[in-house]
Chain A
Amino acid sequence: MSEAVSWKRVKEVFAAARARPIEEREAFLAKECGTDAALADEVRALLGAEREVPSFLDTTAEKTLGSLARPEPDLREPGHRIGPWILERRVGSGGMGTVWRCHRHDDEATPYAIKFMRRGLDTALLLHRFAMERRTLAALDHPNVAALVDAGVDELDRPFLVMEFVEGEPLDRWCDRRHLGLRERVELFAQVCEAVDHAHRSLVVHRDLKPANILVTDDGVPKLLDFGVARMLAEGSEPDTGTGMHARMLTPRYASPEQLLGGHVGTSSDVYSLGVVLYELLCGRPPFPRRDGSIAEARADADAQPLRPSQAVSEEAAKARDLRAEALRRQLRGDFDTIVLTALRPEPSRRYPSAGHLAEDLQRHFARLPVRARGDSMVYLFTKWTRRHRSLVAMLLLLAGITAGGVVGVTRQARIAQEEAAFARAESASRDRVVELLILLFQTAMADNVDPHDVTVLHLAESGVALLEEGWGGDDRVRARLMTALGRVFVHLKAAGRAESLIQSGLALRTALYGENHLEAAESLAALGELRRVQQRLPEAEDLLRRALAIWQESGTGKGLSESWAATALGQVLMEQQRFREAETWLQLALEVREREYGPGSSPALVVRSHIAAIRFQERRYREAEEMLAQILIEQRSANRTADLHHASTLNNYGLVLLRLEDPTRLEDAESAFEQAIVLRDRLLPDSHADLAAAYNNLAVARFTLKKFPGAAEAFKAAANCTALLHGRGHAGVALLRLNEARSLMSAGLPSTASQVITGALADIGKSLPSDNPHVVALKETSGLLLNQLLQSISARLVFEELEQTLMDSPNGDPWVLARVRVGLATARVMLRDAAGAEAALKSAIAQLELDPEQEPEVLEQARRLQQEVERLRGLSN
């Protein structure tokens, strides 16, 4: 379409189409445009864009820009109306703002609480966030949770939140005034736990649980206040620097160490806070008396160990429970001590996995069942004993017919172990041995690591290697199978070096035992093929996998489980080479076998379906990919398979698809998917794992896209830390992530923190990268820009001068970057009133920038303004 010719026509058709109802527009366009498809497309695009025009374009620029400061008199008084809400009386004020009792203008009978927020919040973000979270918050409908019903801004642009009004007394006071005994207290508390658990299952974390937020009504019903509020306010304000919103909203006495220290805050942080509340309810004093002051003091105390509740009992507390101190001590000793201390473990992964588990353990205590928290230490003692009698125990277990679940079912990792065992059982001919080995591995690993919670699959596999080295297994046939099985575990963990030697040894043993074309050798070939895939040696991988598949097919045992496994790997290899159609053929074959052998919704079948979804993703058929992944997630949830790595990668991929959909309303979902993936990966993978780093990076991208800059910075930081563990701090990938962290911090309005990050990153790079490496250049450029912004002009000048030299000396220096650097240099020199120096830098910069004014229009603009500034400086000195 040529602008000059049909501009008028586009306008006419647009105006005419716009005047029609939406559903008639398409027909109108077809009629009006006839064969002029370009015209129709153009108008269609404009009609589509109209919905996205930001609302401020409909006001005037003054409204958009002139909102820097407004007078802030508090005009609120009873009877004052804000939207549909009419104020009744002020009921309190706290760290976040003031709270009023109010009602809807058309319903005087139902009271609500309206919370006016202090300034310093991004109003637009808060409202956006409320709109986004409305659905989640509606799902929070629970008799023990006070519902959040509205959000808005008052006439002075101050944001407010409206929630159900609860008339009640804080949990601790309610209990003390009624002299409730332990059982009544714990029963009330368990209801609270269940409400928290309910919210967690809707993916809402409270972040500020404390007795003041847990009111008990006259009828004795506990009600949780402010659910969802913390998150809504936290994101998009400052990150956790100790002075920002997070800090202001944090109650140090009840905050978890990760909240105090600025780590990842999740459901387990609420479990911790519940632990503090429970501690106080039971023994009447706080677990960490030194955390009652400032955040800084609390932080210094973050790794303190609390006294056992039974040791913290005072005479006074006992009296409030109608008991003598000794009796209270006796009641607390044992289960209660264990339960509370489990909830209060400093490491999130070692606490109760959910508030529901905490409630359950309390109920188990009253039902006189062994509590789970104690179960751990029993296993621990058991394994400690078995350590000296490994092979004997292995035989005993086998003879006694104890299954993996029976022995290790008490801990979280048990599920992984069971799953690995189930896989191995079905896929390997030597199933009993593998099960046996896994049990043994688990026991050994636990004993070596002292604490069962810290056992990971990696530990299991490592202890397997140790056992093999000790000569465990006896028969070479068995040993070869175990080597291959363990090798595959290492492939899975992306520990290629470990995997290589195990698989190669297994292959050598088998070739010697059976020859090259035996089924067992095929399994080793396939395992090696899988390893080569992980190593990105794709042609080798393809060759090995095809060889293995050919052996199976020739032997007539085709379409078995081993083949499905190799076919899956081959599908992935082909997929990674963009050979989607071939890949899909093999994956369909694998899927068919697995659905037949394990069932359609089984984990192995879902894994293959994920791969097919990945093909759709790479073909950019995002809608289809989204549908497939959503279906997989549903099936994983309904089968309760939400604690494994496959669920994590499904979530991660789902998040990626949502990002690609380019639908702004789905970005929050993407963020949440990445967050969930991270929780799982954090738990199941070593900190140095590439997948964990990738998930953090993806989360950061989602947050950045959502303009949640502080959150983005936090996630980039986590990604950088993971990558640094993997490749070292001087790695280029780490530099890039920290650069992104710094840029997120800049966007968050925190230039000095950003500057610290950059300085740290540059120091870490040291000499490991050449000074003209693009990442290093970008870091230095950002550093200079930040210094300019912070008015540290002398340092900025130094940075830019060095960088200018580097780029001029480098054979691959980008002239556009050089121009930008010179403008940065000129800025610093102008600030230092060096007119001649600034002019020199500007002259060459502008010459470059004017070659193509579209390339860096803003930099060019800045350069021209600097030029004027230089002239002004000249004028001053004359």
Chain B
Amino acid sequence: MVESSSEPTDFLLLYQELRGLADYYLKRERHGHTLQPTALVHEAWERLMGSGAEPGKERPFENREHFLATAARVMRRILIDHARARAAAKRGGGAARVQFEIDELAAPLDTDPDVYLVALDAALAKLAEFDAQSAQLVELRFFAGLTMEETAKILGVSPATAYREWAFARTWLHRHIQGGTPS
């Protein structure tokens, strides 16, 4: 995860906005509300850029695409923190590992969503190193919950290409998470 000090201001601004909204909804979860990134992102758009924005205040985003791309990164961070907290609670702090007396036992395939998402975040950072577009696609699609068509539009590619990229990226990520790191 990128350190907050190095984040540009638009990220921080949106982070505060979304974080606040997310906390609000998470608190209300037990009353039947769920954390829905799509809804959050749209609500934040309304408040920062749309009719809900304070009059006279500077609009921090150039356009909707810029906003959504940033929002996807923010949502990724919020959701991963959430998953990490839950995964840590389940595992008791992150350092515990089961040791077996049977040698060479394969590690269990970890498909606990929380644990998986934390690993996904790290794999995604790796993917971004040499295929930034694929990584961003995953952010938009998976973390911000945009449709494939919206995602394609932001990336400036055709929906068919976006689908193809998505198929590759998710497979690569899964393989990376399961330890079969491509060399």
Contacts and interface: CB of A to CB of B under 8 A. Distances in A.
A67 B36 CA distance: 10
A92 interface: no
Given A53-B174, A61-B142, A857-B122, A824 B167 contact: no
B102 A49 contact: no
A64 B117 contact: yes
Interface in B161-180: 164, 167-168, 170-175, 178, 180
Contact of B94 (A58, A660, A697, A859): A859
B38 A62 contact: yes
Nearest to B38: A62
Interface stretch (A213-221, A366-374, A506-514, A738-746): A738-746
A50 interface: yes
Given A49-B175, A856-B95, A57 B34 contact: no
A638 B72 CA distance: 62
Contact of B93 (A50, A68, A788): A788
Contact of A46 (B3, B37, B130, B171): B171
A739 B171 contact: no
Contact of B105 (A4, A67, A659): A659
Given A7-B131, A15-B168, A707-B112, A785 B95 contact: yes
B96 A61 contact: no
B90 to A, nearest CB: 6
Nearest to B138: A57
A739 B99 contact: yes
A62 B36 contact: yes
Interface in B92-117: 92-102, 104-106, 108-109, 111-114, 116-117
Nearest to B80: A61
Interface string B51-91: 00000000000000000000000011001001110001111
B37 A62 contact: yes
Contacts of B104: 660
A46 B175 contact: yes
A676 interface: no
Contacts of A660: 104-106
Contacts of A50: 167, 171, 174
Given A53-B174, A57-B142, A60-B145, A747 B88 contact: no
Given A656-B102, A701-B100, A861-B1, A53 B171 contact: yes
B174 A785 contact: no
Interface in A1-22: 1, 3-4, 7, 10-11, 14-15, 18
Nearest to B161: A15
A876 interface: no
B90 A61 contact: no
A272 to B, nearest CB: 33
A61 B117 contact: yes
A503 to B, nearest CB: 30
Interface string A53-71: 1101110111011111111
Contacts of A11: 168
Contacts of A861: 1, 84
A68 B1 CA distance: 25
A707 B112 CA distance: 9
Contacts of A698: 102
A56 B175 contact: no
B10 interface: no
B182 A54 contact: no
A704 interface: yes
B35 interface: yes
A664 interface: yes
Nearest to B101: A697
A54 B92 contact: no
B183 interface: yes
A751 interface: yes
How many of chain A's residues touch chain B, expressed as a range? 35 or more
B115 to A, nearest CB: 10
Contacts of A823: 95
A336 B118 CA distance: 62
Given A45-B180, A743-B98, A785 B82 contact: no
A701 B100 CA distance: 7
Given A57-B174, A58-B170, A740 B93 contact: no
Given A62-B37, A858-B94, A68 B113 contact: no
Q: How many of chain B's residues touch chain A, expressed as a range?
A: 35 or more
A53 B120 CA distance: 12
B145 A736 contact: no
Contacts of B38: 60, 62
A62 B35 contact: yes
B20 to A, nearest CB: 17
A698 to B, nearest CB: 7
Nearest to A817: B95
Contacts of A858: 84, 88, 94-95, 118
A191 interface: no
Interface in B122-177: 122, 130-131, 141-143, 145, 164, 167-168, 170-175
A651 B154 CA distance: 57
A83 to B, nearest CB: 23
A862 B81 CA distance: 11
Contact of A67 (B34, B75, B143): B34
Nearest to A698: B102
Contact of B92 (A4, A697, A740, A786): A786
A74 interface: no
Nearest to A662: B106
Contact of B174 (A49, A662, A733, A857): A49
A721 to B, nearest CB: 15
Nearest to B180: A45
A52 interface: yes
A557 B50 CA distance: 100
Contacts of A3: 130, 182
B102 A859 contact: no
A740 B98 contact: yes
A69 B143 contact: no
Contacts of B120: 57
Contacts of A14: 168, 171
Nearest to B147: A60
A308 to B, nearest CB: 47
Contacts of A4: 130
A61 B174 contact: no
A691 interface: no
Given A3-B182, A7-B130, A704-B108, A65 B79 contact: yes
A794 B56 CA distance: 51
Interface string A831-874: 00000000000000000000000001111011010000000000
B34 A66 contact: yes
Nearest to B173: A57
Q: Which of A61, A65, A856 has the most CB of B within 10 A?
A: A61
Given A743-B96, A827-B93, A705 B141 contact: no
Nearest to A789: B92
Contacts of B88: 858, 862
Interface of B: 1, 3, 29-32, 34-38, 75-76, 79, 82-84, 88-102, 104-106, 108-109, 111-114, 116-118, 120, 122, 130-131, 141-143, 145, 164, 167-168, 170-175, 178, 180, 182-183
Q: Which 10 A-B pairs have the closest CB atoms?
A: A66-B34, A71-B32, A60-B145, A858-B94, A49-B175, A785-B93, A66-B35, A53-B174, A50-B171, A746-B92
6 contacts: A10-B182, A46-B168, A57-B170, A57-B173, A697-B100, A778-B99
Given A58-B170, A61-B142, A862-B88, 11 more contacts: A53-B171, A60-B38, A65-B83, A66-B35, A70-B32, A660-B106, A697-B101, A701-B100, A704-B98, A781-B95, A861-B84
Interface of A: 1, 3-4, 7, 10-11, 14-15, 18, 42, 45-47, 49-50, 52-54, 56-58, 60-62, 64-71, 656, 659-660, 662, 664, 697-698, 701, 704-705, 707, 733, 736, 739-740, 743-744, 746-747, 749, 751, 754, 778, 781-782, 785-786, 788-789, 820, 823-824, 827, 856-859, 861-862, 864
